[in-house]
């Protein structure tokens, strides 16, 4: 599995419609699902949470949970559904996640995370990875972080995706936890130095491929989050620059045309147009008349009777570059 560049799991954003769209821009970047709780998978609508288009490969399923038996059952589902990796969320600081005893609060109990990782590895043949913070609350010493990484690595985890910020479990919203605690790239770089045998992926505040290439001098891979969603064209040169694939880069208008058959199939299956169109608003970010593109979609895609043609009409608002 090549994790040189990944797009982060983002709740309400990286659903199957978003991932299909991003795959039209980059063939090789590893894509992640939204976090899915073990309870939602085991007691809810599995196809709704797990179905994806084969075009999305490579694609990883991110789980939220802490019970080893439940995590094992969900890891088996990930393999049955054809995912390329299963990832455990140990980074989300929201109150809802804490009340379910998973997410960032698990950094305080590395043994619990290790048990979950071991159970997942025994249940499937997929790579099992962990995404976490550099610390939580006052448990933010480098010694505590190395104890967490070494404990989880002993359970068989070889890949750690590290958000280079600590999280405050109370007092800050999830949004504030992405912005207020300072970025400490040096801490993640030091983890790579101290654990050279592990694959270390860095996450947090990385906004373009130049910054990604700079990070790759220190770590094995880079995960980009909100910038990849809000300005997806930053991924257009990723295949060339980071993966050595010299295929022709499509234009933004060509991406729209490539998206249309998928949008039409989804629409025929009963998916409202705005379930797809909401993910593509950033496609023309920084281009002339980008606002006209966004406005046409925002004003029309949600209307009764809207068809995928709304997307094509919006693209006509923007001159071919």
- What DSSP line would sit under 138-151, residue for residue? TB--HHHHHHHHHH
Range of lowest pLDDT (58-67, 89-98, 123-132, 221-230): 89-98
**Per-residue pLDDT tens digits for 179-226:** 888 999 999 999 999 999 999 999 999 999 999 999 999 999 999 999
Residues 6+ apart with CB under 8 A from 186: none
Residue 236 burial (10 A CB sphere; 0-12, 13-18, 19+): middle
CA angle 285, 290, 296 (to 5 degrees): 125
* pLDDT tier at 173, thresholds 50, 70, 90: confident
CA angle 307, 312, 313 (to 5 degrees): 85
- Per-residue pLDDT, averaged over 231-237, amounts to 98
Looking up tokens 């249309």 gives 260
pLDDT surpasses 90 at 178:
no
pLDDT surpasses 80 at 101:
no
**Per-residue pLDDT tens digits for 31-42:** 999 999 999 999
DSSP state of 154: H
Separation between Cα atoms, residue 183 and residue 141, nearest integer Å: 15
pLDDT surpasses 90 at 156:
yes
- Per-residue pLDDT, averaged over 307-313, amounts to 97
Pairing mode of beta strands 221-224, 30-37: unpaired
Contact of 67 with 42, CB cutoff 8 Å: no
Residues 6+ apart with CB under 8 A from 92: 11, 35, 64, 102, 103, 104, 174
- Per-residue pLDDT, averaged over 67-74, amounts to 98
DSSP state of 104: G
| pLDDT at res. 208 | 98
- Per-residue pLDDT, averaged over 25-29, amounts to 98
Residue of 277, 275, 276, 319 lying closest to 296 (CA atoms): 277
| pLDDT at res. 98 | 58
| pLDDT at res. 205 | 96
Range of lowest pLDDT (15-19, 168-172, 188-192): 168-172
CA angle 255, 259, 263 (to 5 degrees): 160
Residues 6+ apart with CB under 8 A from 46: 77
Fold equal for 5-243 and 252-315: no
Count of CA atoms in the C-beta half-sphere (13 A) of 271: 18
CATH 1.10.1040.10 fits 252-315, yes or no: no
| pLDDT at res. 179 | 82
Q: Using DSSP, state whether 287 is helix, strand or coil.
A: coil
DSSP state of 94: -
| pLDDT at res. 16 | 98
| pLDDT at res. 96 | 64
pLDDT surpasses 80 at 99:
no
The H or E element spanning position 299 is: helix 290-300
- Per-residue pLDDT, averaged over 63-76, amounts to 97
- Active-site option among 18, 74, 92, 157: 92
Domain range 5-243, CATH class: alpha beta
Range of lowest pLDDT (41-55, 163-177, 239-253, 302-316): 163-177
DSSP of 28-77:
SSEEEEEEEEHHHHHHS-HHHHH---GGG-SEEEEEE---HHHHHHHHHH
pLDDT surpasses 80 at 73:
yes
The domains of the chain are located at 5-243, 252-315
Look up 92 and say whether it is catalytic: yes
């Amino acid at each position: 599995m090549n994790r040189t560049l990944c797009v982060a799991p983002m709740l309400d954003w990286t659903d199957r419609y978003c991932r299909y769209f991003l795959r039209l821009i980059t063939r090789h970047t590893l894509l992640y699902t939204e976090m899915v709780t073990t309870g939602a998978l085991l007691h809810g609508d599995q196809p709704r949470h797990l179905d994806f288009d084969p075009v999305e490969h490579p694609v990883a399923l991110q789980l939220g949970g802490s019970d080893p038996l439940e995590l094992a059952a969900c890891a088996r589902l990930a393999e049955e559904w054809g995912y390329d990796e299963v990832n455990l969320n140990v980074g989300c600081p929201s109150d809802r996640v804490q009340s379910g005893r998973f997410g960032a609060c698990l950094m305080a109990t590395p043994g619990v995370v290790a048990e979950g990782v071991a159970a997942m590895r025994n249940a499937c043949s997929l790579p099992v990875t962990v995404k976490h913070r550099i610390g939580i609350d006052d448990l933010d010493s480098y010694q505590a972080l190395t104890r967490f990484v070494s404990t989880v690595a002993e359970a068989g985890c070889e890949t750690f995706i590290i958000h280079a910020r600590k999280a405050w479990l109370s007092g800050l919203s999830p949004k504030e936890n992405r912005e207020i605690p300072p970025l400490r790239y040096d801490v993640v770089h030091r983890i790579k130095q101290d654990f050279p045998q592990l694959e270390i992926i860095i996450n947090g505040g990385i906004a373009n491929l130049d910054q990604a290439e700079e990070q790759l001098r220190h770590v094995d891979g880079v995960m980009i989050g909100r910038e990849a969603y809000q300005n997806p064209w930053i991924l257009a040169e990723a295949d060339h620059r980071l993966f050595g694939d010299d295929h022709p880069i499509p234009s933004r208008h060509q991406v729209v045309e490539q998206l249309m058959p998928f949008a039409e199939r989804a629409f025929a299956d009963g998916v409202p147009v705005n379930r797809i169109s909401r993910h593509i608003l950033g496609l023309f970010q920084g281009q002339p008349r980008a606002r006209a593109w966004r406005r046409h979609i925002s004003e029309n895609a949600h209307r009764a009777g809207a068809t995928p043609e709304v997307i094509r009409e919006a693209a006509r608002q923007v001159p071919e570059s």
